A and B are shown apart, each in its own frame.
Chain A
Amino acid sequence: RHTDAQVSEQDLVRDVVYTCQGIDGKHIKFDAKADGFVITDSVRLPRGARLLILKLCELGWLYRRIRTYVSERLSPASLELVGQAFGSALQQELADYYRLMAVLEAQVQQKAPGPGELAGQSTGGGSYLSLRRLAVWLAEPLLRMRLMAILVDNCGSLKGGALASALHMHRQHGDPFVHEFIGQLLEKVCLPLLEMIRRWVLEGELDDGYQEFFISGDLSVGDDGLWRDCYKVRQAMLPSFISPELAHRILRAGKSINFLRGCCQDEGWAEATDAAAAAAPGALSLTSPSGTLGTLVEAADQRISARLVATIFGRYRFREHCLAIKQYLLLGQGDFIQYLMDLIGPDLSQPAGLVSKFKLAGLLEAAVRASNAQYDDSATLDKLRVKMLEHGDGDRGWDVFSLEYQAASPLSTVFTEAVMLRYLRIFNFLWRLKRVEHALSASWKVMKPNAAVVKPGRGNQESAKTLADELRRCHTLRNEMNHFVTNLQYYIMFEVLECSWSDFLAEVDAAADLDALIAAHDTYLDTILKKSLLGERSQQLCKRLFTIFDTVLRFKGFADRLYEIVRDIQHKQRRREAEVSARTGAGQWGSLGGEDEHHESLVQEQLDSIGRNLDAIAAEYSSLLEGFTDQLLVQQHVDLRFLSFRLDFSEFYTRQRADRASTPLKLRWPGLLGGQL
């Protein structure tokens, strides 16, 4: 209490300058409990001075905080580059601060002028320090320090791109000083990031040991998945001032380099990046992303993507492969498919277990040789293989046979296994459709020559007339089925495949990078799948369609049998006629008693069974078809209106349905009624 009188303002000022550097002064000490500097109790001060000192001591507290943070950041244990840059930027600010403190320190030594002295006469002129003067001096450093403390508090724990993001967010301040200050800080912090971007974009090197960069690479992914799965944008590390589009372009540029280097063994990319680097000269700046960084990335991305696309088109002949797949897997090469089906049809009719893949491969080869496909590039044809699916009990060769196209790397990036699986689904569908069509035309081949054979014979008009009627019905039914299948095929082959193909080609021509190619191809496949009713939402419809196909195939078998029976009946009849004429010639009775009746009843029985079978198939077919067209109309997700319109272009089915609505169901099939009677 006695010493306090000796505390001069100069001592206090010196103490304050010390505290500002985090050092305890004589009278002002850091108190860990209060977490701040306090004036020792023994010092008695005027209220105003005490308040002022405490206010100034805030600077010391802030300084301690920042220094601790900086030393943590710059310690050898912390290796994150961006964090380091932040630390060193803060360190630089602190250095400026030390310089100011040194100046102040020097001024503290100057004595304050006493009363009566003239200004300028005293030793230091006006440059002594009082508490009030110190407050003026320290106002700006205090602001700066506060700002740094805010940044340390809010962004200090972040790393990499996230740190840059946070800094950028804090830059959104209307105070020009704050704006400027954080701007400078940000420039420095972004330097390592910029370097990473530059290396990635121009050399494809991912130089990021501490997960700070906004692009991540997964080294475990092999060459096949390199494009799709290896590199990703790490959203958490994406600085907010880099737009998602720009980030995507950056990702693509580096990815393209890696793809060219890894999968295509192409070294030409270096020229492209050199050109890009030359096209965007000057220092990079992150804080104005539309500026130099944008140009560099754009130039690099454009050139490398162009290079990549050119390689894919030129060296790896993407278009040719797509066309080949369309020709063979999507049945575009009609003569080849026709021939193939003719050749392997008999083999495929056997149980799946007995079908030899080896033999089929030979037949495939033969089909290629015999059709226009032989003029196709041999490299393409080599990729065409027979594939046998897993087979279960009762499967026929038809169910397991499929064609496969083996695309080599790097095209396997586009034609991935999943994609090929989808092709397989389409192929199986088309193959089935083709098979049904094939079967129907085969039965036509049987029907046509036999139609003339069945003429009302002389003998028993009644049964012959019934037979002719049945055959006529069979014909009609075949025609009906054929109409359906042809129209469906027309729809799939032209409305779906060709339209999608022409859209696809247009998109491929416009594609500037591999992503666009992949996307174009995916949409192409998607449209086909969806429009050919193979999509998720038309599963029911597809199932029903397959049952229709099965019915048609059953009908084919039935028709074949029918004609055998017909021929059989005729044969018998002819024999009988020959017999009769022989007998008459021999002067006996032409027909023996009971023989006619016997024969007649046999024929009648066969005719009855034919009629019943035909009725059953016809009824099944028409109910299935009806269900199919009903469902077709409610499929809103694809443009199927024209298919249903085409199927019912003469309103035959509409009228049939209207008739049925007015007449009881059973009356519809007179044969059915007759069979029951």
Chain B
Amino acid sequence: ASSSGSRTAQEGKRSVLGTGKSGVGKYSSAVQELLLIDDLLYAMGGADGEYVQARPKAGKLGEVVFNLDESMDLSLRELAKRILPLCESYHLIAHFVEVRWHYKHGLVSHALAAALRGLLQDYLIMVAQLEHQFRLGKLSMQGLLFYSQPMMDALGMLASVVKTALEDRLYGAGLLNLLQNKASALAGDKAARALLQKLVQDARAPYFRILERWVYGGEIDDPYEEFLIQEKKDFKKEGLRDDYRAGFWREHYVLRSEIPAFLAATAETIRTTGKYLNAIRECGEQIKGPDAGEDTRLHALADRVFLERINLAHMRASQQLLDVLLQKENLMGRLRSMKHYFLLDQGDFLVHFMDIARDELRLRPAQISVEKLQSLLELALRTSVCSADPFHEDLTCDVERQQLISQLHSSLRSGPDGRPVLDFTSLAEPGPSEGAPINISGLDTFTLDYKVRWPLTLVISRRALTKYQFIFRHLFHCKHVERQLCQTWQVHQTMRGLMGFTLMQPSYFLCQRMLHFIQTYQHYMTFEVLEPKWATFESKVATAKTVDEVIALHDEFQDSSLKECMLFWPQILKRVEKVKRACIFYCMVTQNLVPAVSLPDDDDEAERGSASGPPSRRPSVNSASSGGAYADFREQHKLRRELAIQHALQAAEDSGIEAKIQEAETAFNRDMMDLVVVLNSASQDEPYCAHLAQRLQGVGQGIAEFGMI
């Protein structure tokens, strides 16, 4: 085989060309072999030869098939055929390198192409060495096959990878995953696995550069949209303040559908890390970068170290954001301030406010001037202990269109796990079609509002604020009922002298029981639900590590409070409302009696006033000095008093007060029983209901006792 060299081969070729005949068959098999090796060496470098010719594969971009001259010696043909896959692989890979090197294909493609180009360079060097051997006349067909064997496996494997990548149009993360999968599929083949792993490392390098910038700086430098995180710019942080559905925090940065498998486990951590960094930047803070000595390279690390570094970055980012929220923005101070107002933890401002805004609140929602309420609220705030609260200027008020219960009804949905959740989408759209119910007043619709600014909107979003408002409105209405009942008690005190105890006794008892109910209920809500929950919340926040944790804790606090304040239980709430309505009805009845009862007295005064003119009062004072007139006056007074009592009794009888009180009592008893029954039945699932039922039982027992009397 070593008898002739390339020169012979060329001469042979030339003679063929010279005769103008094609086909290698007419040479002796030794010449044929030399010609064939020369051509194959060209073909191995990707070029066509005379006897080994490339044909593009139909329909496949970049793939070629090499055809051998038909007239070749059969055994040579067989040998050559075994080498041809190598040529085809080379061709395909070279095509991939050429195509994917272009800018538009993305960083991962570039890096992979560069790595492959390195391999091909090695391969070409090998081909050049084979050529050297050939020139020395030391290369036979058999030798060629032998030498190219190791490359053949490697390139063949790579070609199949490349082919999949081209056919499936894989870029970025998909490409990385393909390499990774191939590497793990070839776990048995040590050499191939090592080769693929090297390629994976190289191809990942630019990806890790993006990752480093994201994890340490919160920036997405991703010109070809390959990175696992995508920024959705249409989510604005301002949305958190106004929009019930705002998804800024959850959806501003999202994971792409395809993420590299090696990052899948940490993807969420990575996402939140950068998200925190961005939130910090939005707050106008300088991002705390990695420490001076810290190694920030993420590329080519063992999984454990990589995970450690990511976790470290995550910890730092979340700690900083948490510090910004808790220290600089004083989140807990804010929440405590909101607790004063929305959860009535310092209620003196409310008492004052309800005193001065009573008349305005009695109006229908449409007639209420929010400005007036606002200024009254400010007045109340400034004269109460809340004036010491540095945030009290952020409190505003508003008037809703609907009653609490109907609003709750429209926003309660059952969540995926069967538990009720609040869905505020229905609140977002104003529903003019339904129209405001006629008989509601500002007392039913009044609510507080609070000006929250970024970054506090992260925790106190519109959603959270609405939940606070629900609790507040519920408490506010209870407070209103209690005040009404207290007023009724005062009315009783003034009427006692007139009406005598016996007549008022049932009313008295009823009033006390109603007060007992409403106070027990309020006590339950404030001292047994809100306060302990708040304490737990506060202590948990102190140990929270991330902002997400704080948000979750706050959500949990709100949801469990809402739930245990019965706001998630329309059927219970409805009964409570009914009981409250009975109370209000009773108050109305009793208070309406006042003008009826005291009317004669006033009338008397007025009559005398108009009949005898202004002097009528003066003599009574003047005449006090002279004994006779005074006695006369006393006599007159006594007479008038008797008259008044007569009148009062008459009026009471006329107005059918007894029957009405009776009616109120029956309603109250019935609704109360109803409520206790429902609470008892609900207590199977919700233990706190049993607790409340127990406490209200006292009222129920009272029913039984007084029922006997």
Using CB atoms and an 8 Å cutoff, list the residues of chain A in contact with chain B.
5, 44, 46-49, 51-52, 55, 112-119, 126, 130, 132-133, 135-136, 139-140, 143, 170, 172-178, 641-642, 644-645
Check B125 against A48 for contact (C-beta < 8 Å). Answer: no
Check B124 against A139 for contact (C-beta < 8 Å). Answer: yes
User: Across the two chains, which residue of chain B brings its CB closest to A654?
Assistant: B369
Residues of B within 8 A of A119 (CB): 132, 136
Check B49 against A48 for contact (C-beta < 8 Å). Answer: yes
* Cα-based distance from A63 to B107 in the complex (angstroms): 27
Given contacts A136-B124, A139-B121, A641-B371, contact A48 B43 (CB under 8 A): yes
Given contacts A115-B5, A136-B128, A174-B114, contact A47 B135 (CB under 8 A): no
Q: Does B205 lie at the interface of the complex (its beta carbon under 8 Å from any beta carbon of A)?
A: yes
Residues of B within 8 A of A170 (CB): 103
* Cα-based distance from A176 to B372 in the complex (angstroms): 69
Using CB atoms and an 8 Å cutoff, list the residues of chain B in contact with chain A.
2, 4-7, 10, 13-14, 17, 38-39, 41-43, 45, 47-50, 53, 101, 103, 106-114, 117, 121, 124-125, 127-128, 131-132, 135-137, 203, 205-206, 223-224, 369, 371-372, 374-375
Residues of B within 8 A of A118 (CB): 136
Check B107 against A172 for contact (C-beta < 8 Å). Answer: yes
Check A46 against B121 for contact (C-beta < 8 Å). Answer: no
The residue in A46, A118, A178 that gathers the most chain B C-beta atoms within 10 A of its C-beta is A46
Check A174 against B131 for contact (C-beta < 8 Å). Answer: no
Check A126 against B132 for contact (C-beta < 8 Å). Answer: yes
* Cα-based distance from A47 to B10 in the complex (angstroms): 12
Check B109 against A174 for contact (C-beta < 8 Å). Answer: yes
Given contacts A115-B136, A116-B137, contact A44 B121 (CB under 8 A): no
Interface pairs (19), CB distance under 8 Å = A5-B14, A44-B14, A44-B17, A46-B50, A48-B47, A48-B48, A52-B47, A113-B135, A115-B135, A118-B136, A132-B41, A136-B124, A136-B128, A174-B112, A174-B203, A174-B205, A175-B113, A176-B114, A642-B371
* Cα-based distance from A220 to B78 in the complex (angstroms): 85
Residues of B within 8 A of A644 (CB): 371
Chain A, interface SS category: helix
Residues of A within 8 A of B137 (CB): 115-116
Which residue from B5, B13, B205 sits with its C-beta under 8 Å from A114? B5
Given contacts A5-B14, A132-B41, A135-B124, contact A176 B375 (CB under 8 A): no
Q: Which 10 A-B pairs have the closest CB atoms?
A: A48-B42, A174-B110, A115-B5, A174-B107, A115-B137, A175-B114, A174-B111, A174-B206, A51-B47, A641-B371
* Cα-based distance from A178 to B112 in the complex (angstroms): 13
Check A135 against B45 for contact (C-beta < 8 Å). Answer: yes
Residues of B within 8 A of A172 (CB): 103, 107, 223-224
* Cα-based distance from A172 to B128 in the complex (angstroms): 34
Residues of B within 8 A of A132 (CB): 41-42, 45, 124, 127-128, 131
Given contacts A115-B5, A139-B124, A176-B111, contact A48 B39 (CB under 8 A): yes
Check A136 against B121 for contact (C-beta < 8 Å). Answer: yes
How far, in Å, is B359 (CB) from chain A's closest CB? 11
How far, in Å, is A641 (CB) from chain B's closest CB? 4
* Cα-based distance from A113 to B6 in the complex (angstroms): 11
Residues of A within 8 A of B117 (CB): 143
Which residue from B14, B50, B124 sits with its C-beta under 8 Å from A48? B50
Residues of B within 8 A of A48 (CB): 38-39, 41-43, 45, 47-50
Check A47 against B50 for contact (C-beta < 8 Å). Answer: yes
* Cα-based distance from A118 to B135 in the complex (angstroms): 10
Check B2 against A115 for contact (C-beta < 8 Å). Answer: yes
Which residue from A115, A117, A126 sits with its C-beta under 8 Å from B4? A115
* Cα-based distance from A130 to B106 in the complex (angstroms): 36
Residues of B within 8 A of A175 (CB): 101, 110-111, 113-114
User: Across the two chains, which residue of chain B brings its CB closest to A126?
Assistant: B132
* Cα-based distance from A380 to B369 in the complex (angstroms): 47
Residues of B within 8 A of A135 (CB): 45, 124, 128
Which residue from A44, A116, A136 sits with its C-beta under 8 Å from B2? A116
Residues of B within 8 A of A126 (CB): 132
How far, in Å, is B84 (CB) from chain A's closest CB? 15
How far, in Å, is B45 (CB) from chain A's closest CB? 6
How far, in Å, is B207 (CB) from chain A's closest CB? 8
Check A642 against B375 for contact (C-beta < 8 Å). Answer: yes
User: Across the two chains, which residue of chain A brings its CB closest to B133?
Assistant: A119
* Cα-based distance from A173 to B221 in the complex (angstroms): 12
How far, in Å, is B298 (CB) from chain A's closest CB? 16
User: Across the two chains, which residue of chain A brings its CB closest to B172?
Assistant: A174
Which residue from A51, A115, A130, A139 sits with its C-beta under 8 Å from B131? A130
Residues of B within 8 A of A113 (CB): 132, 135-136
Check B107 against A52 for contact (C-beta < 8 Å). Answer: no
Check A174 against B42 for contact (C-beta < 8 Å). Answer: no
Check B13 against A46 for contact (C-beta < 8 Å). Answer: yes
Residues of B within 8 A of A140 (CB): 121
* Cα-based distance from A365 to B593 in the complex (angstroms): 73
Residues of A within 8 A of B6 (CB): 115
Check B135 against A112 for contact (C-beta < 8 Å). Answer: yes
Check B128 against A130 for contact (C-beta < 8 Å). Answer: yes
Check B14 against A176 for contact (C-beta < 8 Å). Answer: no
How far, in Å, is A602 (CB) from chain B's closest CB? 39
* Known contacts A52-B47, A174-B111, then 15 further A-B pairs from the complex at CB < 8 Å, ordered by chain A residue: A46-B39, A47-B47, A47-B49, A47-B50, A47-B53, A48-B48, A48-B49, A51-B48, A113-B135, A115-B7, A115-B137, A130-B135, A132-B42, A132-B127, A140-B121
* Cα-based distance from A291 to B579 in the complex (angstroms): 70
Check A47 against B48 for contact (C-beta < 8 Å). Answer: yes
* Cα-based distance from A175 to B112 in the complex (angstroms): 8
* Cα-based distance from A118 to B133 in the complex (angstroms): 9
How far, in Å, is A270 (CB) from chain B's closest CB? 29
Residues of B within 8 A of A641 (CB): 371, 374
Residues of B within 8 A of A112 (CB): 135
How far, in Å, is A471 (CB) from chain B's closest CB? 27
* Cα-based distance from A306 to B371 in the complex (angstroms): 44
* Cα-based distance from A49 to B38 in the complex (angstroms): 10
* Cα-based distance from A144 to B97 in the complex (angstroms): 15
User: Across the two chains, which residue of chain B brings its CB closest to A112?
Assistant: B135
Residues of A within 8 A of B10 (CB): 46
Residues of A within 8 A of B205 (CB): 174, 176
Check A645 against B14 for contact (C-beta < 8 Å). Answer: no
Check B48 against A177 for contact (C-beta < 8 Å). Answer: no
The residue in B13, B47, B121, B206 that gathers the most chain A C-beta atoms within 10 A of its C-beta is B47
How far, in Å, is B206 (CB) from chain A's closest CB? 4
Which residue from A117, A133, A642 sits with its C-beta under 8 Å from B136? A117
Check A52 against B42 for contact (C-beta < 8 Å). Answer: yes
Check A177 against B114 for contact (C-beta < 8 Å). Answer: yes
Residues of A within 8 A of B372 (CB): 645
Residues of B within 8 A of A114 (CB): 5, 7, 135
* Cα-based distance from A116 to B7 in the complex (angstroms): 12
Residues of A within 8 A of B43 (CB): 48
Residues of A within 8 A of B128 (CB): 130, 132-133, 135-136
User: Across the two chains, which residue of chain B brings its CB closest to A175?
Assistant: B114
Residues of B within 8 A of A49 (CB): 42, 47
Residues of B within 8 A of A139 (CB): 121, 124
User: Across the two chains, which residue of chain B brings its CB closest to A137?
Assistant: B128
Check B14 against A116 for contact (C-beta < 8 Å). Answer: no
Residues of A within 8 A of B47 (CB): 47-49, 51-52, 55
Residues of A within 8 A of B223 (CB): 172
Check A174 against B108 for contact (C-beta < 8 Å). Answer: yes
* Cα-based distance from A115 to B110 in the complex (angstroms): 42
User: Across the two chains, which residue of chain A brings its CB closest to B106?
Assistant: A174
How far, in Å, is B266 (CB) from chain A's closest CB? 22
* Cα-based distance from A427 to B47 in the complex (angstroms): 88
* Cα-based distance from A562 to B107 in the complex (angstroms): 91
How far, in Å, is A454 (CB) from chain B's closest CB? 27
User: Across the two chains, which residue of chain A brings its CB closest to B130?
Assistant: A132
User: Across the two chains, which residue of chain A brings its CB closest to B204?
Assistant: A174
User: Across the two chains, which residue of chain B brings its CB closest to A122?
Assistant: B136
Given contacts A51-B48, A52-B47, contact A173 B110 (CB under 8 A): yes
* Cα-based distance from A136 to B132 in the complex (angstroms): 13
